[in-house]
Amino acid sequence: MSYHATPADARTSDGAVPPDECKQRIILPTNDGRMFALDATTGEVCHAFGQNGQNDLKDGMTVKTKGFYQGTSPPVVTRQMIVMAGAVTDNYSTEEPSGVVRGFDVYTGKLI
């Protein structure tokens, strides 16, 4: 899990003003391949992030088998981006891709 506080002059990756909600947020990946953005004060989901507060980290991946993809460590959160690494379960088949590292907008959850 990681923490992000919205700076006064913040912008999304598209240059827009970020949503007014969740000025302090927790970014939480889960073992089932999702990533949540939660308000650090209330614990509520940040609705403007991803799909109603969460991203499916398996989107865009060739591995869709439940349990085969998961975050490998807490995300690195910068001023504007979440850097998230992930891995697949090895040695179950010969068609598994390697793990990935991707960046997401910290406010919208959009893949950068």
Question: What share of the chain in percent tops pLDDT 90?
Answer: 66
Could you tell me if residue 87 is inside a domain? yes
d(CA 77, CA 72): 15
Could you tell me if residue 76 is inside a domain? yes
pTM of the model: 0.89
Q: Could you tell me which of 103, 91, 97, 36 has the C-alpha nearest to residue 61?
A: 97
pLDDT tens-digit map of 12-38 = 999 999 999 999 999 999 988 899 999
**Domain range enclosing 48:** 2-105
d(CA 50, CA 35): 9
Q: What is the number of structural domains in the chain?
A: 1
pLDDT tens-digit map of 45-92 = 999 999 999 999 888 877 677 777 777 789 999 999 999 988 766 666
Could you tell me if residue 111 is inside a domain? no
Class of residue 67 by CB neighbours under 10 A (exposed 0-12, middle 13-18, buried 19+): exposed
Could you tell me if residue 41 is inside a domain? yes
Q: Residue 98 pLDDT more than 70?
A: no
Could you tell me if residue 112 is inside a domain? no
Following CA atoms 71, 73, 78, 81 in sequence, which dihedral angle do they give, to the nearest 10 degrees? -10
Amino acid at 84: M
Could you tell me if residue 110 is inside a domain? no
- pLDDT for residue 100: 81
Report the 10 Å Cβ neighbour count for 100: 16
